[in-house]
Chains A and B, each alone.
Chain A
Amino acid sequence: MALPPEPLDSVLVDAKVVVFGEVVGVTATGPELPRREGKKGEKDLQNKAPWQTVTLRVDRVLRGDVVKGATLQVLKPEGAYEVAVGTHGPFLLGTADDSGVAPLLGRYGPDTWRSEVVEGAFQAR
């Protein structure tokens, strides 16, 4: 799908943890989701990639009770992007579930907002 990113401020209110990091492992992937096929040249079909559970290494902390160098188990929800080992950037995490796995926030995960935009939001606070 090609909806624009959400306004950063509207997602920051839900973010418990904000870090710069890198995906170091993908531990599970959900089943493929039904796809809508468009006609030639059609875009914005809004097909979704399945969920993934990933291991995220924390390189820098902007918010949250985590430390640099820690690894976190996070959930990449079904949606408009996929991550792989090596995916990096700013990660906003929501509330962890009972098993301690937090969801990634933002329509495109670490590609939702540019790094300097996320940095700028914290400098402004």
Chain B
Amino acid sequence: MRISDRQLRPIADRVAQSSTKLVDDSLVIEILAAVADRSGRSAARALTDLQKPGITRTEQLASAKAGLSAGEKKDVEAILDQSGFGFSKGAKNFLEALVGRAQLEVGGGGGPLPPPPSGVTADAQGIRGTLEAGMVIEAINLSSAPDQRLHLTDTKEIGRADARGQFTLDKNSVTGTDAMQRLTAGDVIRLRGRRADGTTTDWIELKVGGRDLTNAQFNPARLTLTDDGVGRVGLTHNTGRPLTEPGAKLRFINLRTGDQLDATATKDGSIPANLRLPGKAGDQIGVAVSDGTNNSDLKTLTTTLTVLGNSGAVDPADDPLPHKDELKADGTPMYPLRRYTGPLFVNGPQSSDVRQGAIGNCYFPAAVAAVAHQLPRVIEDAITETRNPQTGEREFQVRFYSPSGRMELVTVDADLYTRSWGGPYYGTTPNATDTDKMELWYPVLEKAYAKWKGSYDKIGNGGSPASVLTALTGKSTRYFDTGSDSADAIFRAVKDAGVAKLPMTAGTHDDKKLYTNTGVYGDHAYSVLGAEESGGKKFILLRNPWGESEAGNDGKNDGYFKLEVATFMKLYSDVSISR
């Protein structure tokens, strides 16, 4: 059998290579589209026209006949008479009506022809199929996309169709990038062909064949749960990147109340709009996901998320605005406020309580931890727990000293900007994800400092640890420069101050080259905890305000370390000691 039409030939080849060699109704519409093309209407456009909503079988035939050339008629006759293919009853009647051999049968419920299969298949060995000759094939794995930093249009070019429109791409050539990270049985692949003029086919979605043992992914960082203030929890997909794979089944369970909500992921890997289930701020919501095969009973939870307070509750008189990096385009906070109800102090203020948040204010926690280490009573006296006289709600009055020594009081509550996944965004203490347990003194102190200075942005772009030592103690500071003061003088000053319980900080140079692989970080402030001599060597004792990442390797990764004085003098630029 010889087929001359370049659109019909790959269709016939595909049937000839299939195991069934059957032409059914869904394949007939591809044949009709191939012959319906004409000057001014491509086969792809014809296919779209043939699938218009409401089109009848008679109209489909008429559309195909309008574009049928003499050569194409001969090719369809060859398919009917010489191919040896099997035909479904409907398909045979349609093709015979097309070439004028029979009347189209429209009775007995014969509706329009169904859309064709894509002609593209995938399994663990690769992706193969037929599109148009020379087309570039681009694809994205929608099942592995939720774990990647991708939008659904971030496709990867995986190959090219040959002169007959056919392509066979093995797994190794199509995988290995974020868009096509893998080709695993059950994965949903979204694929299309691109012509030289830049136009594309419609998206084709297909599942990778084989035994599906890999469940759908779910990215918890892309879902925000918020108390709407009227007894329900709103679910918001907070980014344009996919939350899960299209069609995934989702179950959200309020672990406190037992209420549950089922949903099906949209074709874009999102959730339907306006999803709500009963609950309130602080509730834990379990999330189960299934691709329809794995975890199909939705009994196994993938993750648990925390319901946040209503983000509309920022009180400009009470809550300092976030850093500009955490403001949305409309000026509202990216992260809602959440009320923390833990104890103000647990075992008193300690340096180990202090954890710098995702804000450029290392000078503040470094100084605060230094004061907590040497003079914890100063911090205990600086923060007083009270009740709001109007609302009765819990508040904290915090004392700072201005540079001139004047005492100033700032009142804040313990509502902190919080992520659904990970706790407060700014400074924390241990147990940060537990609103009832997290010790409050450090984040409350930081919030009060931000309010005193104007906002988190005002305190989040660098500063002087010495100014914070003064703000907390009311005392001025002495400054030592490692470039001009001797190692002996600095060691003696630090040692004496340690004995006298005077808070100290040290800063590093703003020289990135100097710090690679040292365990010390440039342009950074540290708490100085004292000095010691052992084994004939002199050491400065330090703490990183991150609460982790230190020089040396004592196995603890808790931010505490010591440096020999010579190394300290090289890596650190200055020391500030409270008077």
Contacts and interface: CB of A to CB of B under 8 A. Distances in A.
A1 B523 contact: yes
A125 interface: no
Nearest to B154: A95
Interface in A1-57: 1-5, 7, 10, 13-14, 16, 35-36, 38-47, 49
B547 to A, nearest CB: 8
Interface stretch (B98-106, B201-209, B458-466): B458-466
Given A1-B523, A49-B512, A44 B360 contact: yes
Given A43-B507, A81-B515, A89-B517, A2 B523 contact: yes
A4 B356 CA distance: 7
A27 B361 CA distance: 34
B461 A43 contact: no
Interface in A83-107: 83-84, 86-89, 95-96
B386 interface: no
Size range of the chain B interface in the assembly: 35 or more
Contact of A41 (B178, B362, B461, B464): B464
B578 to A, nearest CB: 13
Contacts, number: 126
B516 A44 contact: no
Interface residues of A, number: 42
- Chain A CB within 10 A, most for which of B149, B178, B355, B522: B522
Interface string B162-179: 000000000000001110
B466 A41 contact: yes
A82 B517 CA distance: 10
A2 to B, nearest CB: 4
Nearest to B462: A44
Contacts of A86: 517
B178 A38 contact: no
- The B interface is mostly helix, strand or loop, or mixed, namely loop
Given A3-B358, A110-B517, A44 B363 contact: yes
A43 B516 contact: no
Contacts of B461: 44, 46
Interface string B233-247: 000000000000000
A80 B520 CA distance: 12
Contacts of B328: none
Given A5-B549, A117-B557, A46 B517 contact: no
A2 B516 contact: no
Nearest to B421: A10
Contacts of B149: 13-14
Contact of A82 (B356, B512, B519, B523): B512
Nearest to A5: B549
Interface string A103-116: 00000111100101
Given A10-B221, A80-B522, A88-B517, 8 more contacts: A2-B525, A4-B355, A43-B507, A44-B363, A45-B462, A46-B523, A87-B517, A117-B557
| Nearest 6 CB-CB pairings of A with B | A2-B524, A44-B462, A2-B362, A49-B512, A4-B546, A43-B525
